[in-house]
Each structure stands twice: as structure tokens, then as C-alpha cells.
Amino acid sequence: MGLEHKIADFPACWDLWFQVFDPKRHIAASELDAGTFLFPLCLLAPGWKHMVDLWIRAGLTRLTFFPGFVEKLKALATFLRSDNNKQVLIRKFKALGMAPVAEMIEVLSVPSFAAWRWGTLYFVCRAVHGVLSSLRSHFHVAWFRNQRDATQFGLVVGALTSELWVAQFKFILWFTAWLGDLMSWGCGCDCHAPTDPDFETCPFKGRRIKKLYLHAKACLDSGLAIANAWTTSSWNIGREFWLQAQTAVRLVHRLAFRRIEFLDTIPYLCARLDEEGIAARCISQWQEGLDAGKRHHRVSAQFLQPGGPLRTDVEAVVASNPLSSELEAACARIANIPLGDSIGEGPHAIATRISKTSTGSKWAWMASTARLKQNITDVRELVPDLDCTLDELWVARTSILQSDPSKADALCPKKVPKKKLLSYVYHMFFLCRGLEASSRPWCSTRSRRSW
């Protein structure tokens, strides 16, 4: 997680928010039961793809042969991605009477590696695997005698002619497929298959926190059982490789369980209260935490604190009664916490796409462009809803953004340089200036003084 992890425990700032967006104060901040936090029932959840990426990296970097292997794989992927090389292969295979292989190469699309997405290694291996056997059997160096980069071509030849590299490739393919399938499942949904045309736009993608622990446990245990059954002859390349392969799988199995064990504890376990025996486990974990002097999360208190709003309903479930409507809705809120962090869906991806089409674009331009659609909606809806003119909303907003930070109680507009105004906006200072300095860990003492 990046900066967004601060959202879960962000202090309540309703009063300042309504000063910006409701200058006539149609809604009193005191009417909102905001408590200490802006989102009292918010829970942190790690990005599933990032988590599995780290498991893949942890396992593969324990293999002494991996740096040399991946160098040859990258060279082979780049070779097969070249249109000129593909045309030569298609022409030669057709001349050998191997039209099906030529057709496979013609439609072959080898994806690129992403240095920060280790899961992409599986997609590269899967694409190469389809033509690897045919290339090794019929590839001739003389077909590409005029290659410009002899070093990279030498890596390609080395990969296609090495039995050792092929054995390593088979293991890497199995390893990345094992964890890649788990990654894809966690970012999917229960209502659509990955091939469904509506899958990409489904709002429930990545909301599998209820089933994730049990599914991940089964998948990890299955991979470990397969690895434990390997012998020195399983890969036909010696004892050292066998030991490294088993070590990588066992390491990932142990690391993964340490990373997902939070899903089997409260408050995340409360998403599974409709399963047999889970309600009793939740109450037991609550009591064990109190006995150990542990401070429970505020969401756990909503469910399990004696005298709390849902404790009686949880105890009724222990007594074999069905979930009440309030408890069922509370469980659904936890079950629908998103774990997906798919590429192209986050603010960073949006900003990157905007910057590529805007020469010399700065942060303010990218932010305003990304917010353009929402800003237009705000103009259309806030003006009639708040009974304000657009000028009144703008004056209220700018008066707070440009207020003197040393006078927290009085809004005293003053002129500030553009650079300092952008600093106010970026650090959300206009929403936090009424809070104590200790509650703003992202803002150093030095930067506060400069403001």
C-alpha cells in the first residue's frame, strides 16, 4: 500500500469539510456521528496482486540459476516479439511443411515483463511454452545469420539448445502458474467467469475476502504437497536443483501463511459469521485478546464488545440461530472490502496515461484533468443542492485553501505563491489545520514551520 493506507485511520474533519462545500451550513457538523475517525468502520486491506508478487519474488530469488535463466528468457521473448523474426520463422516453417507451427507463430503475442509485477513472468512463460518445443526441434542459426545484436541472439541460441535451461523453464512455468492462478482468483469475482465480457467492469472484482483464506490455504497446501513428492529424478538435472526447487516452494508456503493469517482473525473473520463454528471462534479471539491485554480494532468492537450493537446477535448465532438482518449487513460490508489492485485502475495509472499525452505536464495539470469529470458533476449538483451560487462555493473554497495556518480559528484570506498553494492542496492541509500536530505524522515539524 502507498499513501492510501492513511485513509483508514484519518481523523474526523467534518466541520472543516462543510466549511468548504456547504458555506451556508445547511448541515451542522454536530449532527454527524463521525466519532474520532472520518471512516469509523474502515479496514485496511493489502493489494492482492502486490502480495502475491512478493511471494513470487521471494521464491525465485532463492534460486541460484534464476538470474541467468531470466536473462535468456527475456532475450527469447524479445526475439519472438520482433515482426521481422516472426516472418522469417513463418516462411521457414511453411517451407518445411509445418504450416500449423507457422500459424502458431503468426498469432503468437509475447507480453512484456513488468519489473514491478513479478506475476507477468507467468504470462511470458505461457506464451513461449506454446512454441518452445517446435523451435528447439527445427530452429537453425543460419536463418538469422545477419542479426545485428549478436550478444542477444547468442542468449536465444543458448536457451533453445540447452537441456538445463529447458528444465529450469519447466519449473519456473509450474511455479509461476501455481501462484499466478491464485493471484487471478483473488482478483476475480463470484458472479462472472474471466472469459465473460462483463468481467472487466464487474464492481465485485477483488471482493473475495470471505473465501480468500480457505481458497489460498488449499492452493498453497496443494503446491507444497506436490513439491514434497519430488525426487532427484523429477527434473532430471541433479540433487542441487531439486533442493533449491523444494526450498523455494516451502519458503513461499511459509511466507504466504504468515501474510494471510490476518484473514483468519477478527475483525476480518467476522465476514464468515454465517459459517458453522466461526461465531464461537470470534468470541473466543475477542476474549483471548482482552486476557492478553490486547487492544482490539474498533470494527471488532462493533461486533463483539459486550453491550455493543451486534454482540447479542453474534451470541444468537452461537446458539444456532440465523443471522439477524443487521448482523448480515455488517458481515457483507467486511466481505465486500476490495483486495484488487489491477493495473490501470488506480490514480497512478490515470496520471501516467494523462502525462503521456501532455508534453511538460505537471502534477497540478494531471490532478485537475483526472478530476475534470467529477468537477463538472459537482458544479451541476452542488449548486442546486446547497442553494449557493458558483461564486459562493469558489470563495468558500479558496478562502480556506489560502487561509493563514497560524490562525486556525479565524479564516483570514491572504495571497500565497502558487507553489505554496499546491503544497496546501497536496498535503490536504486545509482539511487538517484544526488537528493537533501529533495527529499529522505525514507533516514534519520543519514543513509545518515553513507553512
* DSSP classification of residue 195: T
| pLDDT score recorded for residue 159 | 86
Which cell is 265 given?
482473525
| pLDDT score recorded for residue 415 | 55
| Choice among 67-81, 88-102, 192-206, 424-438 with the minimum mean pLDDT | 424-438
Q: Are 75 and 159 in contact (CB under 8 A)?
A: yes
Residue 433's closest CA among 417, 416, 448?
A: 448
Q: Is the pLDDT of residue 341 over 70?
A: no
What gap in Å lies between CA 39 and CA 17, rounded to an integer? 14
Q: Are 169 and 233 in contact (CB under 8 A)?
A: no
Q: Who contacts 162 (Cβ-Cβ below 8 Å, separation ≥6)?
A: none
What gap in Å lies between CA 451 and CA 448, rounded to an integer? 5
Between the alpha carbon of residue 314 and those of residues 225, 282, 317, 374, the distances in Å are 37, 9, 5, 40
Q: Are 41 and 267 in contact (CB under 8 A)?
A: no
* DSSP classification of residue 403: B
Mean local confidence (pLDDT), 191-206:
82
Dump pLDDT digits (tens) for 300-328.
998 999 988 899 999 999 998 999 999 99
What gap in Å lies between CA 402 and CA 429, rounded to an integer? 10
Name the CA radius of gyration of the chain, rounded: 28
Cα–Cα–Cα angle for 255, 215, 259, nearest 5°?
Answer: 25
**Confidence tier at 428 by pLDDT (50, 70, 90):** very low
Q: Who contacts 108 (Cβ-Cβ below 8 Å, separation ≥6)?
A: 80, 86, 127, 130, 131
| pLDDT score recorded for residue 443 | 37
**Which residue ranges make up each domain of the chain?**
3-45+371-450, 49-258, 265-335
What gap in Å lies between CA 98 and CA 104, rounded to an integer? 10
| pLDDT score recorded for residue 446 | 36
**Beta-ladder partners of 313:** none
Whether the CA torsion 84, 85, 86, 91 is positive or negative: it is positive
Across the chain, what does the average pLDDT equal?
Answer: 78
| pLDDT score recorded for residue 429 | 45
Dihedral class, residue 428 (left if φ above 0, else alpha if ψ from -120 to 50, else beta): left
Dump pLDDT digits (tens) for 7-27.
777 777 766 666 666 656 555
Which cell is 385 given?
443542492
